[in-house]
Amino acid sequence: MKPYRLASREDKDTIIEVHSGEGTCSIGEGYCTIIAGPCAVESEESILTSARLVKKLGAHILRGGAFKPRTSPYSFPGLGVEGLRYLASARKETGLPIVTEVLDVRDVDRVLEIADIVQVGSRNMQNFPLLRELSHQRVPVLLKRGFAATVEEWLLAAEYLMSGGNRQVILCERGIRTFENSTRNTVDLGVVPLIKELSHLPVVVDPSHATGKWQLVRPIAKAAIAAGADGLMIEVHHHPETALSDGKQSLTGANFARLMEEVKSIAHLEGKII
């Protein structure tokens, strides 16, 4: 028997349903769900601009960090609770469901007040108290792969979330750290079909953090869907040069529009609903 019992393939495919002003959005086998938005919520105006933009171009879910895990203590840490309020207004105006990161167990209640999906970031994949807390909640969790985590460790982190009763886990590949430093991380697309073999959970790919370069995002996004991913998480900013975080990997509206067009044809080829 596999060490991850609840996350293992033995169950039937999990389809996660998120309800919003727009109706129901499904994530899992047979769907190609696009999550898009800026790295961080920077102001009310900017998240509204991004939300309108990604909605117009066909995204299903809005992303935006209010609590940001920054490597340097001097980098923009996010707007915190104020950022959550701005996300709530973006949801109200556009009807797009929201995914946002929770960094700290102490913030779980506040984040859950507005998040339709809560994100556990790469750096927190093995924050076991946080996983345990979320395991008792009834909110879908987007679990990013730790940048140095094996597939087994990642699935065991999913198992933590499921072991308290929360069965709504979405796995997100976002690149791993290797000797290669010409890209921010090394994209591991082989895990997509592998996860499909090992687990019933949905798996999406984040080509933005995986590559760190906007020029690589569209090709890797297409490859991810062709490899069988159930969706994508894409960083989009209306003006990447001025972004307070991750501008170099953020797509402009025009580039995101092109990505959507090309991803749509691949999703159709794969028989996925987009």
Q: Which of 60, 91, 174, 222 binds ligand PEP (CB under 6 A)?
A: 174
For position 173 contacting Mn ion by CB under 5 A, the verdict is no
Query: Based on CB atoms, which residue is closest to ligand PEP, 6 or 117?
Result: 117
In the complex, least distance from residue 112 CB atom to ligand PEP, rounded to whole angstroms: 18
Q: Which residue's CB comes closest to ligand PEP?
A: 121
Task: Enter the tokens of residue 58.
Answer: 């066909």
Taking the least distance from each CB to ligand PEP, the nearer of 75 and 265 is: 75
Longest Cα–Cα distance in the chain: 51
With CA atoms as reference, report the closest residue to 44 among 109, 116, 77, 92. 92
Terminal-to-terminal C-alpha distance of the chain? 35
User: Smallest distance, Å, CB 35 to ligand PEP?
Assistant: 9
According to DSSP, residue 239 is labeled S
Dihedral of the alpha carbons of 207, 212, 214, 215, in degrees to the nearest 10: -90
Is residue 157 involved in binding Mn ion (CB under 5 A)?
A: no
Binding mask 8-37 for ligand PEP (x = CB under 6 A): ------------------------------
Q: Applying CB under 5 A, does 42 fall inside the site for Mn ion?
A: no
Q: Is 184 in the site for ligand PEP (CB under 6 A)?
A: no
What is the distance, to the nearest Å, from the Cα of residue 26 to the centroid of all Cα atoms in its chain?
A: 14
Q: Residue 212 CB, nearest distance to Mn ion (Å)?
A: 9
* Least Å from the CB of residue 97 to Mn ion: 19
| Cα(161)–Cα(209) distance, integer angstroms | 23
Residue 55 interaction partner, one of Mn ion, ligand PEP, none, beta carbon < 5-8 Å per kind: none
State the nearest-atom distance from the C-beta of 176 to ligand PEP, in Å.
10
Q: Token digits for 87?
A: 């996300």
Q: Which of 32, 74, 54 is nearest to 263 (CA)?
A: 32
Q: Does 39 bind Mn ion (CB under 5 A)?
A: yes
CB closer to Mn ion out of 28 and 175: 175
246 binding Mn ion? (CB under 5 A): yes
Between residues 14 and 122, which has the closer beta carbon with respect to ligand PEP? 122
DSSP string for 148-217: T--HHHHHHHHHHHHHTT---EEEEE--B--S--SSSSB--TTHHHHHHHHBSS-EEE-HHHHHS-HHHH
Q: With binding defined as CB under 5 A, does residue 159 bind Mn ion? A: no
Shortest distance, position 246 Cβ to Mn ion, whole Å: 4
Q: Under the criterion CB under 6 A, does residue 65 sit at the interface with ligand PEP? A: yes
Exposure letters 71-92 (e unless 16+ CB within 10 A, then b): eeeeeebbbeeebbbbbeebbe
User: Is residue 144 at the binding interface for ligand PEP, with CB under 6 A as the rule?
Assistant: yes
Q: State CA 158 to chain mean position distance.
A: 15
- Please report, as ranges, the residues that interact with ligand PEP according to CB under 6 A: 39, 65, 69, 101, 121-123, 144, 174, 209
